[in-house]
């Protein structure tokens, strides 16, 4: 494996301890409905991160790339908690199976994915681009077409295609960018979780 790629993977996987630490702190004090949602997003994130890195190590970027979009979904939907008047009532509705897109924020807006994404993009201007790019790997698209092309001979007007469970023709820069996206998404999630932890530990200051 490329040394730079390996270092990026190690850095991403090192965030496991940060997620576990904040989970331990959140669950060591008074428990609220929002903690069910917090626990779920932490657990899902750990599985997505290590599913992503496992697939990368196995040279299966096409499968790994889907998980960037899933991890982005974590912060897009979890961010809705900060947009409602009563976060615990919101959490209870989600626990009961109500879809977030059918719920309204404190301004009366339906919290559909595109709405939440656009609000998050105001603070993190790369969100929309990553959302669109990563969605291109979920749905059959040009990204999958070009990933099958191994070589092009313009002079003889021929192409070579590759069919394999491993990828050997994905640019290393694309892989590193995907890892960094996963890392940035995790950092944003940790910021949200730390904010909730601070609220729990300092109710008198809120």
pTM confidence score: 0.88
Rounded-to-integer distance, Cα 189 and Cα 76, Å: 10
Residue 187: what pLDDT?
Answer: 98
CB count in 10 Å sphere of residue 78: 24
- Long-range interactions of 156-165: CB distance < 8 A, separation 24+: 165/60
Residue 142: what pLDDT?
Answer: 64
- Helix (H) or strand (E) holding 2, with range, is none
Q: Which of 201, 202, 185, 157 is nearest to 29 (CA)?
A: 201
Residue 104: what pLDDT?
Answer: 97
Residue 139: what pLDDT?
Answer: 62
Residue 144: what pLDDT?
Answer: 61
Q: Where are the domains of the chain?
A: 3-201
Q: Which of 84, 89, 77 is nearest to 32 (CA)?
A: 89
- Ranges of residues in the chain with a pLDDT under 70 are 137, 139-145, 147, 149-150, 164, 206
């Amino acid at each position: 494996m490329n040394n730079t790629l390996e270092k990026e993977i190690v850095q991403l996987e090192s965030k496991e301890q940060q997620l576990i630490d904040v989970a331990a702190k959140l669950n060591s004090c008074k428990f609220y409905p929002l903690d069910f949602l917090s626990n779920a997003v932490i657990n899902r994130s750990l599985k997505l991160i290590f599913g992503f890195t496992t697939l990368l190590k196995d040279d299966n970027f096409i499968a790994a790339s889907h998980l960037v979009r899933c991890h982005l979904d974590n912060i897009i939907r979890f961010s809705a908690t900060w947009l409602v008047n009563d976060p615990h009532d919101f959490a209870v509705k989600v626990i009961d199976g109500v879809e977030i897109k059918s719920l309204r924020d404190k301004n009366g807006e339906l919290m559909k994915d595109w709405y939440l994404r656009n609000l998050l993009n105001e603070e993190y201007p790369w969100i929309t681009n990553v959302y669109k790019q990563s969605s291109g790997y979920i749905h059959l698209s040009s990204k999958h077409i070009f990933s099958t092309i191994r070589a092009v001979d313009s002079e003889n007007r021929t192409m070579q295609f590759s069919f394999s469970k491993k990828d050997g023709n994905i640019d290393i820069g694309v892989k590193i960018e995907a890892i960094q996206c996963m890392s940035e998404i995790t950092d944003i999630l940790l910021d949200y979780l730390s904010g909730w932890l601070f609220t729990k530990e300092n109710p008198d200051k809120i």
